[in-house]
Structure 1
Amino acid sequence: MSRLIRNTAILAKIEPVYGADAVPTGAANAMLVSTLSINPLNAQNVDRNNIRPFLGGDEQLVGSRYVEMGFDVELVGAGTLGIAPAWGPLLRACGFAEVITAGVRVDYVPISTGFESATIYWYDDGVLHKGLGARGTASLKLSVGEKPVISCKFVCLYGGIGVAAAPTADLEEWQVPEIVLDANSGKLMWGATHATATPPALVGGDSYPSKGLTIDLGITSPFQALLGGESVPITERKVTGAVQLELTAAQEVAAMAAVLATAKTSLGMIHGTVAGSRVAVFMPGVQRIEPSKEDLNGARMIGYKLLVNPITGNDEIRIATSF
């Protein structure tokens, strides 16, 4: 009988102790996911290469091993002011701190020490893959005409595999997102300031028609094979992004001057119309690089890659939600 990809359940829970199974449950830690990928055994195998009096191959010895997991979750708030969304543990395992302002909002801000990790259970129609000490990276995709998503990629310590039926997944916490459209999304605001009012707002600045915003958090989290200390440390973060803008001739020329001058500016966006489910992204030090000419149904668009830099440290991006 065929096993079905539809019969997949993914659970994720923050670990109190690094690499120790946090035992996530379907009732409390279920993820609502799409676009799945898993490498259940990435092993650094070793060839034996023994010399024998005949031709032929030799076994490989299974060396250090780890698990890679990837999936998308919908980028939407918890539906209640100041309540952490169900995807919060995923960003926490990507080197972000979760800052809750009760009854107001939840912010995710980057950190450079004290990183958390997660246990991820991946139920694949009768088979359970355990990923321990999971850390990774993510991309935010707020593209016009599409649902907003966080695309996650994790590296995990190999926690074993076994026959196990998936638990009942409680997905009631997951809210329905709004499509990124003009009616649902604020404009991309350049040069604005981020006012942490209730709700948060972008004040001042300029806006141009755009195709939305994509951000790559750029977290480096390699598997480290050490005797007595296997781990997945977070060793670097370089946030980047991309935009496509509709500019007048004068605006394109002015933007090119900013590119040539290595100028930095702020960039922010607020998405959503439902209180408690909105999401905001703010970056205070964005440099535009590599301008390109793009075609949108015969109309001229100007594309830019973005370098998202910190100003004073651990402030290059702020993701606010549940406001």
Structure 2
Amino acid sequence: MAIKWRKRLAVVKLETAYGVPSADMTGATILEVVMLDGGAPYAGNTVERERMRNGLGGFEQVNTGPNVTRTIRVPFAGSGAAGDVPSYSPLLRACGMSETIDITTPGEESVTYQPVSDNYESLEIWWIEDGQMQHISGARGTFTLSADAAALPYLEFNFTGLYKRPEIEGDASVATRGVQAKEVPINKQNTIAAIDTHNACMSSLSLDVGNTVEYRNLVNCESVHITDRRVTGSTNIEAPDLATKDYFAAVESHAGQTLVPVTLTHGQTAGNIIELKGQNVQLATISPTDNQGLMHYGIDLRFLPNDSDDDDFTLTFK
């Protein structure tokens, strides 16, 4: 029987002990996803088993450390209720993000995610494809945010985990479908952005957490680690005149660097408002582009921490 591409699910749960898979999907979350990339269900470094012989030809290839890579794209939206975590919270936490829930003040409930530099959590994923399933444990990863005007925004997660051969689909009825509000388009009605307090006419903004994710297979240990983080991004804005905002002065770094705040607030309804904020952002490059006959600037962004405070950026769900 042919396997249908559209009949796929991702079910996830944070691990209580690294790399130890659960017996079933009890307590796991069925995600609402935009896209599941096939990725590499059997990845790893390979070597050839070479031999000298009286003839030409190839050699057997050996996988020296089997692992799995998978990509999950989810809507950039909240849970629908302020103070409740988004359904994809486990994905954020397995990408080196802390989670802080604030429900102390009625009407101001929020959930905030911020990078951390140690004590990383890990994820197990049940990757279901039309009757068959790959149960991935020990997964950690990185993610990007894409917010383009006149389009629906999304987060895209890339995970590396420990390999297990796919098998017949397990019982997903014991998992819970995540509560997820619908994403709304990036536009003037739903979105506010500011670069150094300038409310630029923005056509796009992106963020790349830039985690370095390393799979290791050594004697007596197999694991996936996050070993570094370099948060970058980019934006494309309508070019203002110099009297309104001098972006060239902000981008210049030959005589000193300027760090500015960058914010993007998306959504109008409580429970589906998300704020991206970077307090120490360097505008790194500036490139003139044509957008519908108007001058635009493409600007690279570097989201920097304040020393060791892990405050490169925050994502706050309100």
Residue 92 of structure 1: aligned partner: 93
Provide closer, same or farther for how the CA distance between residues 273 and 252 of structure 1 changes in structure 2, counting only shifts above 3 A: closer
Alignment-derived partner of residue 115 in structure 1: 120
Determine helix, strand or coil for the equivalent of 2:289: strand
Alignment of 1:1-323 (within 5 A): 1-22=1-22, 25=25, 28-37=28-37, 38-102=39-103, 104-164=109-169, 167-168=172-173, 170-171=176-177, 173-186=179-192, 188-191=193-196, 205-250=197-242, 254-261=246-253, 262-312=257-307, 313-321=309-317, 323=318
Q: CA deviation at 1:251?
A: 5.2
Relative to structure 1, the CA distance from residue 46 to residue 247 in structure 2 (aligned partners, 3 Å threshold; closer, same or farther) is closer
Q: Output one character per residue of 1:136-162: Cα deviation in whole Å (capped at 9) or x when no partner.
A: 100011211111211110111113321
Give the number of aligned pairs: 308
* Range with bigger deviation, 97-106 or 167-176: 167-176
The whole-number CA distance in structure 1 between the counterparts of 2:240 and 2:122 is 46
C-alpha displacement of 1:27: 7.2
Q: Could you give the per-residue CA deviations for residues 22-69 of structure 1, whole angstroms, max 9, x where no partner exists?
A: 456387411111332220111322211122334333322332111000
Moved more, 19-28 or 83-92: 19-28
1:300-319 per-position Cα deviation (integer Å, ceiling 9, x unaligned): 11110001101242001000
Please state how far the C-alpha of 1:257 moved relative to its aligned partner.
1.4
TM-score (norm 1): 0.90
- On the 8 A contact 1:23/1:119 being kept in 2, the answer is no
Do the aligned residues in 1 keep the contact of 2:233 with 2:300 (CA within 8 Å)? yes
Q: Conserved in 1, the CA contact under 8 Å of 2:29 and 2:178?
A: no
Cα distance between partner residues in 2 of 1:22 and 1:155: 18
Q: CA deviation at 1:212?
A: 3.1
Following the alignment from structure 1 to structure 2, what is the Cα–Cα distance between the partners of residues 17 and 100? 23
Q: Deviations over 1:216-261 (max 9, x none)?
A: 1111111112111111111011100101111323158721112114
Q: What amino acid is aligned across from residue 263 of structure 1 in structure 2?
A: T
Q: What is the letter of the counterpart of residue 221 of structure 2?
A: G
Deviation at residue 2 of structure 1 after TM alignment = 2.2
SS of equivalent to 1:100 = strand
Measured at CA, do residues 45 and 217 of structure 1 come closer, stay the same or move farther in structure 2, by a change above 3 Å? same
CA deviation digits over 1:180-202, x for unaligned, max 9? 1110112x1133xxxxxxxxxxx
CA distance in 1: counterparts of 2:315 and 2:74, whole angstroms: 15
Alignment-derived partner of residue 195 in structure 1: none
CA contact (8 A) 2:24 2:171 kept: no
Distance 1:105 1:243, change over 3 A: same
Aligned-residue RMSD, C-alpha:
1.9
CA positional deviation for 1:165: 5.5
Contact 2:30–2:178 (Cα < 8 Å) also in 1? no
Stretch of structure 1 that moved more, 42-51 or 108-117 = 42-51
Which stretches in structure 1 are left out of the alignment for 5+ residues?
Answer: 192-204
Q: Which amino acid aligns with 2:57?
A: G
Q: Which runs of 5+ in 2 are unaligned?
A: none
CA 1:24–1:150: 2 relative to 1, 3 Å: farther
In 1, the alpha carbon distance for the partners of 2:235 and 2:67 equals: 35
d(CA) in 2 for partners of 1:76 and 1:283?
19
SS of the residue aligned with 1:234?
strand
Once the 2 structures are TM-superposed, how far is the Cα of residue 177 of structure 1 from its aligned partner?
1.2
Deviates more, 1:245-254 or 1:223-232: 245-254
Indicate the SS of the match to 1:3: coil
Query: What is the deviation of 1:278?
Result: 0.8
